[in-house]
Structure 1
Amino acid sequence: MKRTRFSSRKRISPDAGELGRLAAGLAESGGRLEDRFWEAQLAALIERLLADGAEDDINAALDRLYDTNAQAHDELADLVESGAESCVLSYQGQDYDVLLFNAPLLAWSRFSIPAERIPAPTLGMLKVQLGAHVFAAGAQIALADFLFSPDQLPRSFVDTARLLRELGAAALERRDLPLDATSMAETSRFLSDTRYVVGAVVVPRGAPVFRWNEADGSREVALKEWVRQGGPCLEPLLTGCAFQPLLADAYHAACRNADSASRPYSVRASAAFLQTTLGKPTESFRAVIGAFYDRQLEEYRIGFGPRDSDTLYHGVVWPLLGAEDESTDIVSEIEAVLRESGVKEIVSLDQQFPFEFCDDCGAPLYPNIEGETVHAEMPEQTNATSQTLH
């Protein structure tokens, strides 16, 4: 998974240099047999660096390769993510494959979206549904007892690997993992946001992990049943929220899937919020789309307001992800989601806007019909708690 990063040319450590050498070898490999040779050496070095807490060495190697060898960068990034989210643990004389997983859900509310401890009975019900519909027969599952916001997820590969091993040990011992909620980061408040149920699944070495790894399983059925039967287990955690569960998957893949799915979800949530809060039909609003640049195109911002003035009531940020850039037809995707949401008047501005935020409050500034960047402000008579969708 190629990362957007601005790197430095400073001298790197021997371990970082060795990561770069091995990754370059893998990138130049001519066949699967040679792939396995390079991957084995890389995996062993990555495992040691993660265990030693050498986050700086890993990031230095990624930064250097980002400048010099894009394919090697992507190979190394994939293997680092794999090393941080999966491992092999021995328990009572048997080896087990361990995978850190993430079950995201998208939510929106006029009130605060909870990020809080998950009670033991709810953990039990979630594990039953995950075991029945998402993971393979015989898999053992442990969950962290906290509903994470994006601000509270592990911030580094080393932290992710540490959580993997703690949850993996808990799964082997058939228990869940209690976390210290007082040490959690503060959660930023957005009208629309993502929450995560994080856990580990363990299976005997080489056995299927997911339900769709089995001959009679499929991702489509797993998602359908998880939403239908797992969703109600989450309702007590999300009072006052509309929410949409996403399919549980390997930790980093699930995070990326949630990032992608959250963009159209936020647009739809915005339309619903304006309609319910202001008591006006969705077609009475105008959406203005603008492209915002820093060193390069960073994101699109969508300003919502009444069709008969240049006032903005609300704003949505649509960030670029992965390999997306100016050549990606994102505007058409945004316009399609807006039309599906009932917005009739959509204006896409051609100008390039600076990547600016309010100097006083730090909120993004959104484009209006006049091509200006302004604050989004709900009318005074409403009791809206936020004007930004994230």
Structure 2
Amino acid sequence: MKRSRFSSRKRISADATELSRLAIGLAESGSKMEDQFWQGRLVELVNRLFHDGTEDDFTSALDRLFDAHPMAHDDLADIIEANAESCVVRHGGQDFDILLLAAPVLAWSRFSIPTSTIPRSTLQALKVHLGAHVLAADARLAVADYLYSPDQLPHTFVDTWQMMRQLGKAALEGTDLSVDAAAMPETNRFLSDTRYLLGAVVVPHPLPIFHWNESPKSSRETVQKEWLRQGGPCFEPLLTGCAYQPLLADAYHAACRAADSASRPYSLDASVAFLQGALGLSPENLRAVVGAFHDQRLEEFRVGFGPRDSELIFHGVVWPLLGIEDENSDVAGEIETTLRKAGVKEVLVLDQQFPYEFCDDCGAPLYPNADGETVHAEMPEQDNTPSQTLH
């Protein structure tokens, strides 16, 4: 889990203090046997807090460990995530493993990228292809009948745990989860964004969960190819007017992280295609300006797009840092490589540090131009223009 918080020094509860103590014990353990001792105590406490719905204890413990003991922070985060997305339950006299799944889809469009209820026929087709190409032979699957935006995913560890339990129960009972679309929060509109199919897989404990677990001839790469080829077309009626790219279905947190990572180069490719289609600017006639934006540390890179023969910035992309990336990572090099593969010949990577600022009036990110200034991205007047920021 990305350590993305700055420490809080407020008083924390006894349970949060105990989470911190146990996590430090695990981080400082010197043997596998001692690891198992600390992990057992942590799992017991974490599961009790999930049942109690005590999200604040998780947040307080992670905040306290962020600076004080980074290794303990990461160990605790791993255990909280694992128990939010999976569990073992007793059903019909047998133990079953439940795992929350996400199948991300990257998409971009000049129009709105849909979030919507999934028709029954489409839902069944997606389940068939997940079962045939991604999941193990003995797996049962339940899927939520809604295509989620990032804003609509579970916001907290407790929310994620509750979603896992709901979908797991549905899988054990042979049903799916019906989502009230009218009750879902509105989502922000971006040119490029991710949509998620959520489900839960249930297998008898301790049988394989995924196809690549049970067959020596299978791998994640071969499974992904079949999922894209067979399952990918099922998303077409859900993403009308969009270009899209499905990613491999995986455990919830791993799939979300993979989508966050893949969405960054996808956003740059989408930007180039968008500007070519909307304004007739071919990639070789574009200029991309890359700048690093800092708060207390390097937070993200921003890329401003404009005509090669002008200082104007028509469009912008935010490339956030993920995981262990920092000032020592060659993120700028990765951005430049992606842009050149997309056909952009003029890429300016600026050396200066930009302040982590947004427009005071509208809150939009400001993007670097060739003069080293931060400016609004402003498209020429046209109809049906979405936000000039890619998510």
Same fold (TM over 0.5): yes
- 1:350-375 superposed Cα distances (whole Å, 9 cap, x missing partner): 11111111122211111111111111
Instruction: Give the structure-2-normalised TM-score.
Output: 0.98
Aligned to 1:12, the other structure's residue is in SS state coil
| Cα pair 1:131 1:139 within 8 Å, conserved | yes
Aligned to 1:269: 270
Question: What displacement does 1:382 show?
Answer: 5.8
Question: What displacement does 1:383 show?
Answer: 4.4
Q: What is the percent sequence identity of the aligned residues?
A: 67
Question: What displacement does 1:200 show?
Answer: 0.3
Aligned to 2:109: 109
The one-letter amino acid of 2:245's match is Q
Matched, 1:316 2:317: yes
- RMSD between aligned alpha carbons? 1.0
Aligned to 1:154: 154
What stretches of structure 1 move > 2 A for 4+ residues in a row? 381-386
Quote the Cα distance in structure 1 between the aligned partners of 2:155 and 2:384: 34
Question: What displacement does 1:7 show?
Answer: 1.8
Instruction: Give the structure-1-normalised TM-score.
Output: 0.98
Aligned to 2:18: 18
Matches of residues 70-219 of structure 1 in structure 2 within 5 Å? 70-215=70-215, 216-219=217-220
- 1:5-64 superposed Cα distances (whole Å, 9 cap, x missing partner): 012112211111111111111111112222111111111110000110010111111111
Aligned to 2:296: 295
Matched, 1:233 2:234: yes
Aligned to 1:262, the other structure's residue is in SS state helix
Matches of residues 364-375 of structure 1 in structure 2 within 5 Å? 364-375=365-376
Question: What displacement does 1:281 show?
Answer: 1.5
| Cα pair 1:110 1:386 within 8 Å, conserved | no
| Cα pair 1:105 1:244 within 8 Å, conserved | yes
Matched, 1:30 2:30: yes
Quote the Cα distance in structure 2 between the aligned partners of 1:383 and 1:41: 55
Aligned to 1:78, the other structure's residue is in SS state helix
Matches of residues 323-342 of structure 1 in structure 2 within 5 Å? 323-342=324-343
The one-letter amino acid of 1:116's match is S
Quote the Cα distance in structure 2 between the aligned partners of 1:105 and 1:300: 23
Quote the Cα distance in structure 2 between the aligned partners of 1:7 and 1:179: 36
Aligned to 1:55: 55
The one-letter amino acid of 1:357's match is F
The one-letter amino acid of 1:205's match is H
Aligned to 2:348: 347
- 1:82-105 superposed Cα distances (whole Å, 9 cap, x missing partner): 010001122111110000010001
Quote the Cα distance in structure 2 between the aligned partners of 1:383 and 1:236: 21
- Structure 1 gaps of 5+ residues are none
The one-letter amino acid of 1:211's match is H
Quote the Cα distance in structure 1 between the aligned partners of 2:368 and 2:286: 14
| Cα pair 2:2 2:322 within 8 Å, conserved | no
- 1:179-225 superposed Cα distances (whole Å, 9 cap, x missing partner): 12222111000000000000000000110001111133210111000
- Structure 2 gaps of 5+ residues are none
| Cα pair 1:5 1:63 within 8 Å, conserved | yes
